[in-house]
Structure 1
């Protein structure tokens, strides 16, 4: 996107006056109708063709010796059959499902004859969202068999007697449990077990019970519920809550499976990592919960000794005997986002969003990878996400890939990248993207022969980048991020250091019902990634830390973009980082924290919520940091550089040392420091 410097209030008033004069003059001097005027400037639009072409996928299920894979954000949506023995795509069915459809839910009946398909769409046109494909006659297209009143189907399961159950959701409505009877063909709603949930993504069934997993992985925060798990009695039609208490604070239930007399449960994490639970079907109060290191537990599979699951970091295994977790190690590529895991004959069959199927030999730790497009999957244009252009290239983000188009030659290359590039900027020829889901900022340099890599991360619950913006004056890449599970979001920033590498920080805020802003309580107020090492300063120039301890001024020539705070390794108090003051404002031995200002009546966010802190013994602190202008025009901490006029507007900085029962303070003056947007 194109960015312009922010005009001052005076310039806006001047512009408004000029606009009024121009309007008046235009009405007087406008040419009469029919008078000849200069030709209008023409805009040329060139069709470059589809931006991103691939077989994008969102589900995978092994039935017999064939893996069935559902498409994502492709028109029309489809399901393909990948034959494991031949490693070829041998069947395909298309679905007339609606705008920008995706197939996330697949389930087979106990006989293996019928494959049930659930779709989700961007807009509801009132058509069916549940299909059935007869696998005995794969040349015959799947047929629509019904519709749930929840627009999107996120998961399907088939009970031992062939009854189909579906869950999903639609924005603004609590999700229901839906039942399809293959004998009568009726689709029946069985009720809303959790009226505060925003989405259901997991369902499993036994002979007597259906397990319904929901939460608020989308549109969370406020009064939305967290992870919820219910047991639905198929005879009495009654719901009973059974979620383990250790999982109650997780945002949502992510996966369910019935395995060897146990219910296996996976959650989506937020502030805390996701968890895996194994519950005894005979006594659901008897269970084991194990925390993971990732943000999701999904796509479950099992063998005699282990339960396998996927997370954003790859494959993991839960030992049934020792009840411990371990990564599944193998010689093979990064699996990216995983949409299907099954176990057969000592191998794991993994469906990757990168567009391949991996067969992993668990004992030998080897793998065979087959590209689906090369195996016969039909590629097509995919709905695009973020777009950016610069240095002779145009980039378009999609699911699991970023396309790069060379404007000189027309060559298009798909670059693997997990999740979705929601927005992007080209800075100095280098691409920076905001990656969903919870992937942070990714970086790609076309001058180097390697794929995009993560440049910086956000707190795990801040998962959805919405917008990126480059600030050339201060050398900052700003990224607005939303928390789908907690509500609100931080403003992240990446500063390019001398080596051109990013330094990243975020601040988390949420909005309350009163419209005011407050610091997010579900995560630390500040989250900072450690800056990369910089070149050492010359011996004649003391370090920032030594200048702070001595109370000295900053060294001329060592320019740094201004920050309202600084965080150094090993220096922190609670969740709010502190660092030595960078000027003599507070004197030697003092510590800087962001200043405090109350919210305005218009709902502005506070600068730092320190008022509620305990008055117990604390480290001395400075309530305002200083800001000076360097000769280059960039802000820098410390005293004014030689030859630069000092700012005339000043504000009072108060330094205090608190101890039990006593408070002392002194005030000095320093340049005015304004809080950044959103506190």
Structure 2
């Protein structure tokens, strides 16, 4: 991208100082730069699989068997867990996508339908069917929706299948699969301003479609919306109760007897539960829950059970009250499946187990799926942090602790996802998605991680964690999926004080990257919407809570990573742009195009006087003075879930991923 004179002039005048771009005549994305080959001074040590656990994202009871869909495992798969014997009795591999979030069975219980999530539009089937009468035969692909991801499925009484989901940049549609003809048909887009649909339910006459803006919210994105699709007429009618419209999205729909049960995703308010009369949809009740999550709906006829922020809850229809379900079992974490059968709740936990909760007795039985026969394989990972003794790797509902002395790996339980982390004086600090705030773990004192500090729940996606040694503060950059924009969090481990600064860049730009020098935090902005600036750099005083200066970098995409070495701030964009800012001069002094080795998201760290970057494909080194780029490990190809990470220990050794394995890289620049 060329710098326009008007943009340069505007930047020179920003913040009342000389904030111009010293490299304003050079393109930030010119001819792709090629990294110089690495000399034989790098040692790579394989530390084994980063995280091994049966990770899951869905569960449904069919007869006496719980069918479960995997998450971030290769290959994507379904397993069948037989409740009477508490054994995994069948498995089938799907082979596309990275996770299975949507499961639904046909009325006969013979066919299980599964919808997959993908990282990109693979152009391959995303709807599968498994014949449970012959579970040894593999599931078959039956169709593909043009929405990249399938988030929810419903099967009407006549066997017709309905699917909803989404794809970035497009409003979600309602899709139909006809098992008689094998055709997949797009039935329409009822809400053109929605960004994602996660709820669908069907009767003989009507399909209910729930959507909103749980991802890419803010701006003109819609809030919670509920539509009724007339199967005979082929028309949509908006039936959203006004009481639900303040929430960002519909979370779940279920036809339970003669009622339609609706739940929302909470953000600035608590999630809500609505019970609607199918015979008269204008007749309904709405009850706020006690948290921001209400999903996986099931009933015993008198009560509606659902998964909330803190485990299981029951809504008594006669009194319209919500109470926790008490039992003697462990904390359940993220719940991805909940069904009622004979006075028992079958719970599918993201921690990789199935819990059977006896409602009347208040007791439970827990079965680990790995011990029951599920194949435990390496999953894709997220944040990494290290000190001299341990390396921690974040995944879905798990943080793996690697002991560098013994090689032993222990799985720690932490709900959600540890997006990024730091280790200070032997204590781990993480940013936990979604809406979990900061968590901590001291291996000398804690059996399991625990929540350290909460932050506004709508600031739900922490992305980058770093430590400010001058102010003795942990700094966390975050994104608000539902409201747009983002925030900077600060936490003092010494004093136990926290603060949050919402939208320090602007109302559209999240804070994707944070770096620090001399007590000033440098925030890298990123804008997932089509409107407004992107790639704004803000210098921010985290103690006073005020902006010091800013500049709009001439970027077509936002900042992906930042690191400080000496007087320079080094940055990478989400599409391989590389820039260097002279911080005392507040001036860009170097730009280059690194798309050849950094095609997408990236992370940066400093060690042994150099700057290191990692992309999905390559680990590379940046010279702190000449800014020359050298490949350290080519084709590292880490198995990442939400963007690559790299960390450094006190000895200057790097840790990142090569494939599904954690590796230590000893580089001698």
- TM-score after normalising by structure 1: 0.70
Partner of 2:438: 441
Listed as ranges, the matches of 1:325-336 within 5 Å are 325-336=322-333
Q: Where do residues 306-325 of structure 1 align in structure 2 (5 Å cutoff)?
A: 306-325=303-322
Contact 1:60–1:69 (8 Å) recurs in 2: yes
5 Å-filtered alignment, 1:204-603, equals: 204-497=201-494, 502-509=496-503
Is the Cα contact below 8 Å between 2:501 and 2:545 reproduced in 1? no
In structure 2, what is the Cα distance between the partners aligned to 1:166 and 1:241? 18
Determine if the alignment matches structure 1 residue 89 to structure 2 residue 75.
no
Task: Quickly say closer, same or farther: Cα 1:43–1:247, change in 2 above 3 A.
Answer: same
Cα deviation, 1:501-553, whole Å, max 9, x if unaligned, reads x322112117668x8999xxxxxxxxxxxxxxxxxxxxxxxxxxxxxxxxxxx
Distance 2:42 2:371 in 1: 40
1:115-140, Cα deviation, whole Å (9 max, x unpaired): 00100011222000000000000000
1:462, 1:64 → 2: CA distance?
40
Shift of 1:68: 0.4
Q: 1:111 aligns with which of 91, 108, 111?
A: 108
The structure whose RCO (Cα within 8 Å, separation 6+) is larger is 2
Tell me the distance in 2 between the aligned counterparts of 1:595 and 1:83.
55
Partner of 1:57 in structure 2? 56
Helix, strand or coil for the counterpart of 2:371?
Answer: helix
Alpha carbons of structure 1 residues 40 and 261: separation in structure 2 relative to 1, 3 Å: closer
Change (3 A) 1:462 1:347: same
Does the 8 Å CA contact 2:461/2:479 hold for their aligned counterparts? yes
Answer yes or no: is the 8 Å Cα contact 1:204–1:256 preserved in 2: yes
Query: Separation in 2 of the partners of 1:450 and 1:597?
Result: 40
Whether the 8 Å CA contact 2:488–2:504 is kept in 1: the answer is: no
Q: Which residue of 2 aligns with 1:540?
A: none
2:502 and 2:457 map into 1 onto residues whose CA distance is 12
Q: Distance in 1 between matches of 2:92 and 2:130?
A: 8
> Structure 1 415/601 Cα, relative in aligned 2: closer, same or farther at 3 Å?
closer
CA distance in 2, matches of 1:596, 1:143: 57
**Alpha-carbon distance between aligned partners in 2 of 1:517 and 1:342, rounded to the nearest angstrom:** 38
Q: Are the equivalent residues in 1 in contact too, given 2:467–2:475 (CA < 8 A)? A: yes
**1: CA distance between counterparts of 2:218 and 2:79?**
38
Supply the distance in 2 between the matched residues of 1:143 and 1:250 (Cα, whole angstroms).
Answer: 37
Separation in 1, partners of 2:40, 2:156:
66
Report the number of matched residues. Answer: 493
Structure 1 distance, partners of 2:545, 2:217, is: 30
Whole-Å separation in 1 of the counterparts to 2:110 and 2:189: 31
Could you tell me how far apart the structure 2 residues matched to 1:506 and 1:601 are? Answer: 22
CA RMSD of aligned residues (A): 2.6
The CA distance in 2 between the partners of 1:597 and 1:210, in whole Å, is 50
Q: What's 1:644 paired with?
A: none
* Aligned-partner Cα distance in 1 for 2:82–2:506: 53
Is residue 480–residue 510 contact of structure 2 (8 Å, CA) maintained in 1? Answer: no
Which string of whole-angstrom CA distances, capped at 9 and with x for unpartnered residues, describes residues 353-381 of structure 1?
00110100111111111111100010111
* Contact map agreement 2:484 2:510 (CA 8 A) in 1: no
1:174-193, Cα deviation, whole Å (9 max, x unpaired): 00000000000000000000
Against the structure 1 CA distance between its residues 459 and 83, is the aligned structure 2 distance closer, same or farther, given a 3 Å change threshold? same
For structure 2, the residue ranges without an aligned partner over 5 or more in a row are 1-17, 23-37, 512-518, 522-542, 554-669
Query: Which whole-Å CA distance do the structure 1 matches of 2:509 and 2:383 have between them?
Result: 30
Q: Residues 275-311 of structure 1, C-alpha deviation per residue, up to 9 Å, x if partnerless?
A: 0000011111110000011112100000121000101
- Larger-Rg structure: 1
1:96-133 deviation per Cα after TM superposition (whole angstroms, max 9, x unaligned): 114xx100000000000000010001122200000000
Q: Contact conserved, 2:297 with 2:307, CA < 8 A, in 1?
A: yes
What do the CA deviations read for 1:643-671 (whole angstroms, capped 9, x no partner)? xxxxxxxxxxxxxxxxxxxxxxxxxxxxx
Instruction: Please say if residues 303 and 314 of structure 2, whose CA atoms lie closer than 8 Å, have aligned partners that are also in contact.
Output: yes
Q: Which residue of 1 aligns with 2:127?
A: 130
Equivalent residue number for residue 10 of structure 2:
none
**Structure 1, residues 153-198: CA drift from partner, whole Å, max 9, x if none?**
0000000000000000011110000000000000000000000000
1:192 is matched with 189
Higher strand share: 2
Contact 1:229 1:243 in 2 (8 A): yes
Please give the alpha-carbon distance, in whole angstroms, between the structure 2 residues aligned to 1:223 and 1:167: 21
Following superposition, the deviation at residue 312 of structure 1 comes to 2.1
Q: CA deviation at 1:41?
A: 6.5
Deviation at 1:598, TM superposition (A): 12
Work out the CA distance in 2 between the residues paired with 1:360 and 1:48.
Answer: 38
The structure-2 alpha-carbon separation of the partners of 1:601 and 1:441, relative to structure 1 and needing over 3 Å to count, comes to closer
| Counterpart contact for 2:478–2:510, Cα < 8 Å | no
Secondary structure in 2 matching 1:47: strand
Q: Deviations over 1:241-263 (max 9, x none)?
A: 01110110100000000011110
Q: Name the CA shift for 1:452/1:179 in 2 (closer, same or farther; >3 Å).
A: same
Contact 2:391 2:401 in 1 (8 A): yes
Q: Helix, strand or coil: the match of 1:49?
A: strand
Q: CA deviation at 1:52?
A: 0.4
Within 1, Cα distance between the matches of 2:221 and 2:504?
14
1:586 matched residue in structure 2: none
CA contact (8 A) 1:487 1:510 kept: no
Counterparts of 1:259 and 1:597, CA distance in 2: 52
CA shift, 1:346, in A, is 0.4
The structure-2 alpha-carbon separation of the partners of 1:596 and 1:393, relative to structure 1 and needing over 3 Å to count, comes to closer
Contact in 1 for aligned 2:163/2:200 (Cα 8 Å): yes
How far does residue 599 in structure 1 lie from its aligned partner after superposition? 9.6
- For residues 599 and 52 of structure 1, do their structure 2 counterparts lie closer, same or farther at Cα, with a shift above 3 Å needed? closer
Is contact 2:347–2:355 with CA below 8 Å preserved after alignment? Answer: yes
